[in-house]
Amino acid sequence: MRVRIQVERAEDGYVFRLTESQHHLLVNSLAALSESIGSPEELDLLLGPAGRGLEEVLSRAQHAETGSRRVVRATVGQAHAFHALLSVIPSLFGGEQTFHSRIGAYRENALAMAGGMLTAVRELPH
């Protein structure tokens, strides 16, 4: 899985250009988290208030005009929620095999993608 994430600034946040595997990691992580928590308040605690809209953000992802990437537009709050999702999801499952069967990736992939997201935003021109 690629760790590097392509990102551009947008008027209201960011435009992420994700590989298919990165997009699937976010979709599967969000689904697993939603199945694992018991209330909207828990989701708010883990991902912040913008976390409630992530499913819609991911469902609106479009294929890039060129290449095979998925274009995901996110506000700053939604980008924070995606980063929080990738950072917290590895701690919610007991064993690596359980994590991999639920998410379709390894824990280190989620953590590396969170780090890649931070690096990509850090490297944006000011």
Q: What is the pLDDT tens value at each position of the chain, 126 positions in all?
A: 677 899 999 999 999 999 999 999 999 999 999 999 989 999 999 999 999 999 999 999 999 887 789 999 999 999 999 999 999 999 998 889 999 999 999 999 999 999 999 999 999 998
Three-state SS at 125: coil
* Burial of 63 from C-beta contacts in 10 A (0-12 / 13-18 / 19+): exposed
DSSP for 89-112, written as a single string: GGGGSSSHHHHHHHHSS-HHHHHH
How many C-beta neighbours within 10 Å does residue 39 have?
Answer: 8
pLDDT of residue 77: 97
Three-state SS at 16: strand
CB 120 within 8 A of CB 5: yes
Give the closest residue to 64 by CA, choosing from 22, 27, 103, 1: 22
pLDDT of residue 1: 67
Q: Look-up: residue for tokens 């690629």?
A: 2
